Chains A and B, each alone.
Chain A
Amino acid sequence: MSARVFVVAAGATSFGPMPDVDGHELARQAVCAALESSGIDPAEIGIACAGHAYQGPCFGQKALMKIGLTGMPIVNVENACASGATAVQTVVNAIRAGQAEVGLALGAEKLTKPGGGFLPIVADDLESSMGRVMPAAFAMIARLHMERYGTTPEQMAGVAVKNRRNALRNPRCHLQKAVSVEEVLDAPMIADPLTRYSCCPVSDGAAAILIASEGAARRLCDAPVEIAASVLNSGLRTPYGIVDDRSEMSIRAANRAYEAAGVGPEDVDVCEMHDPFTIAELVHYEDLGFCAPGEAGRMIEEGRTEIGGDVAVSPSGGLLAKGHPLGATGVAQIAELFWQLRGEAGEYQVPGARVGLAHTVGGGVTKLESGACAVHILTA
């Protein structure tokens, strides 16, 4: 039985285009927000881990030295879109191993640049070099889900409608404008059937959380939130890479997380998951066990993933409305669940939330389903 660990503080910047703010400064702001909101003395931090995909060498050190956090072990991790969640797990493991009583998990990314648009081609990856941009991969996933289960473009658009509406109550989101199903379907096509509003925007941002052992958590925090499960895995070799109507690694990670936390999908009140594209959220409803395979279209249509529904999915606006600064996302999801489970989510609070699940997937690798999948379960 692993030692218990708790989230004791969280902070995040807004997500969106911030051309005049560099990545280290975004990270500093997020860490300071976590420290200031909790009143925790920075000297308590015994280990730090920074998750990012493109921010260059020793990113964590460069950000944390601005606050005067130096000397402790600082680890920089990359797992594409799952970098932030990997940073969370790294700190969880370090505290469980007794390396520190309090640790900082930080995630940040700057993606906006002149010309914007898709993530860059990965030269050493065959599929990427052939033009397999991420929207295209998910468009092919959508095609399979539509063929197999009859999922419709209207149902997929419903995810964007929900998440963009939720975002109106979260000032930290990049996108602050509601859309209708018609507007999603009529928006410019990116990769058929995914239109511009089926895809998350290109955003900058950072988030930070403090994680503590049981003893330190009780000392430092009035209402610590327990990390009841922290699971990371990698994708299997598959015939079609990421293109499938389900995510095997998400199913596998979720099952391990549910077992570790002693809860089931029916117990989850609030979920922040990997929704960079509308179809991804639908597929993951099924992967995470919120509904049976093929039922996700019906689940969104019936409003069962709205705030107040069976399980509130992406009440924060999700990646679709917040944006997806790669390294920041996984840490920001934990921050969102921390606020939800303490009743501090303000206008997008999920009433009575006691069990939260965070899920993220990252990394386009030819022949693998994907690089990494992380699932965290938090309990009040």
Chain B
Amino acid sequence: MPLRDGLFVDGAGGRAPKLLGSRCRETGAVYFPAEIMNPDTHRTGTMEQVEIDGRGRLVSYTVVARGLPGFESPYALGVIALDAGPSMIAQLADWDADNLKCGMPVEMTIGTIKTGKDGTRYVGPKFRPLDERTA
């Protein structure tokens, strides 16, 4: 099940998955995660839901050797600067410790973030490093 509601939309029928965020009708600024009001202008009633493309660049990264229970370890985390504007911290997918580099292109996928004590898999956005040439 999703890590939390309203975070992403699955890719279906060949579409890429997208993040769900907010866009301000007045300023055009895009926010992720979604915001209830515009935190920069302090105004309410201006935000609408928007789908955010999951391509971006890896700003920084680390490999966590052994995480808390439920997190399959080792796992990689990164700060991702999305081409669409917002940034986020997320787990990486299909990563190789020898091939992580600040600035490398990444794209969003949906994968298991953690597994609950009862075996429930919580899924959410993860980012897969791309070969610079094919990005």
Using a CB–CB cutoff of 8 Å, the interface residues on chain A facing chain B are 117-118, 120-121, 126-127, 129-133, 135-137, 139-141, 143-144, 147, 188-194, 237, 239-241, 243, 366-367
Contact = CB atoms under 8 A, between A and B. Distances in A.
Contacts, number: 94
B75 A140 contact: no
Interface residues of B, number: 32
A193 to B, nearest CB: 8
B90 A130 contact: yes
A192 B87 CA distance: 21
A117 B68 contact: yes
B64 A131 contact: yes
B124 interface: yes
23 contacts: A126-B4, A127-B88, A130-B3, A130-B90, A130-B113, A131-B71, A136-B77, A140-B79, A143-B60, A143-B62, A144-B59, A144-B102, A188-B65, A190-B64, A190-B65, A191-B62, A191-B65, A192-B63, A192-B65, A193-B62, A243-B59, A366-B89, A367-B33
Interface string B88-100: 1111000001000
Contacts of B102: 143-144, 147
Interface in B32-79: 33, 39, 59-68, 71, 75, 77-79
Contact of B89 (A118, A132, A143, A191): A132
B81 interface: yes
A135 B64 contact: yes
Nearest to B69: A115
B63 A191 contact: yes
B33 A366 contact: yes
Task: Give me the 9 closest cross-chain CB pairs, A-B, nearest first.
Answer: A139-B62, A140-B60, A239-B87, A143-B60, A127-B89, A191-B62, A189-B65, A192-B63, A240-B79
Nearest to B77: A136
Nearest to B101: A147
A240 B59 contact: yes
Contacts of B128: none
A4 B7 CA distance: 50
B68 A131 contact: yes
Nearest to A240: B79
B3 to A, nearest CB: 6
A130 B66 CA distance: 14
Contacts of B114: 129, 131
A118 B68 contact: yes
Nearest to A120: B68
A95 B16 CA distance: 59
A196 to B, nearest CB: 10
Contacts of B87: 239-240
Contact of A131 (B33, B67, B79): B67
A192 B62 contact: yes
A127 B80 CA distance: 12
Given A137-B89, A144-B59, 7 more contacts: A130-B113, A131-B67, A136-B77, A189-B65, A191-B62, A240-B60, A240-B89
Contacts of A239: 81, 86-87
Contacts of A243: 59-60, 79, 89
A120 B114 CA distance: 14
Contacts of A188: 65
B41 to A, nearest CB: 13
A133 B78 CA distance: 12
A133 B89 contact: no
Contacts of A131: 64, 67-68, 71, 75, 77, 91, 113-114
Q: Which of A121, A188, A243 has the most C-beta atoms of chain B within 10 angstroms of its own C-beta?
A: A243
Contacts of B71: 131
A59 to B, nearest CB: 25
B13 to A, nearest CB: 27
Interface string B108-122: 000001100000000
Contacts of B78: 140
Nearest to A137: B89
Contacts of A120: 68
Contacts of B90: 130
Contact of A130 (B39, B61, B89, B97): B89
A191 B63 CA distance: 5
Contacts of B62: 136, 139-140, 143, 191-194
A191 B61 contact: no
B124 A130 contact: yes
Contacts of A189: 63, 65
B89 A129 contact: no
Contacts of A191: 62-65, 77
